[in-house]
Structure 1
Amino acid sequence: MTTVGTLTRADLSEALHRQIGLSRTESAKIVEQILTEMCEALARGENVKISGFGTFVLRDKGERIGRNPKTGVEVPIAPRRVLTFRASQMMRERIVTSS
């Protein structure tokens, strides 16, 4: 398996520019608008589902006891909200067949 790189906002904008023919400025604005909308929905406590790609889900984790691996001392871990991603079945199949 080879490591490729990281897909960035600029990469997404460039792909829109090349494949759809939008200007680079318009492409960058669209990418920003999509990401802003996703962030705002998550901030409101909503899940974000992109058909054929996956779902971003907010989960509330309760307080629990953790352990410092270096010292072995138990410490309480505060409750928190975490963001998880679950790939769609279509995405999982594409990832498995491409490796």
Structure 2
Amino acid sequence: MTKAEVVSDIAKSTGVDKETTLAVVEAFMESVRESLVRGENVYLRGFGSFIIKERAEKTARNISKKTTIIIPKRRIPAFKPSKLFASRVK
């Protein structure tokens, strides 16, 4: 499902026009993005959590050049579904 399909589905179920719905969806995504950039997790009860995961530094190998490189630690965004969400998908 694309963002356009999500907007269309929400607009149809709520009766709100697509332009307003698109603005709300965009604002929601920007709010989540900015919270994660600041290092704050976003918790949506009954849906899931948008969290920041810390990846540890690790050593990797380039087999073709026979060299070893260090991959620095980094932060990545992740989504963890709620138990209710996960059970409904199963």
TM-score, length-scaled by structure 1: 0.80
**Alpha-carbon distance, 1:73 to partner:** 3.7
**How many angstroms apart in 1 are the aligned matches of 2:44 and 2:63?**
38
1:77 aligns with 2:71: yes
1:37 aligns with 2:35: no
Structure having the larger proportion of residues in strand: 2
**How many angstroms apart in 1 are the aligned matches of 2:85 and 2:64?**
38
The 4+ residue runs of structure 1 with deviation greater than 2 A are 67-74
**How many angstroms apart in 2 are the aligned matches of 1:69 and 1:52?**
45
1:52 aligns with 2:24: no
What is the CA RMSD across the aligned residues, in angstroms? 1.6
**Alpha-carbon distance, 1:67 to partner:** 2.5
- 5+ unaligned residues in a row in structure 2: which ranges? none
Tell me whether 63-72 or 43-52 shows the greater mean CA deviation.
63-72
**Alpha-carbon distance, 1:65 to partner:** 0.6
**Structure 2 equivalent of residue 8 of structure 1:** 2
Tell me whether 78-87 or 29-38 shows the greater mean CA deviation.
78-87
- Aligned CA distance change for structure 1 residues 60 and 18 (closer, same or farther; 3 Å): same
Summarize deviations over 1:21-45 as a string: whole Å, max 9, x none: 0011111111111111111111111
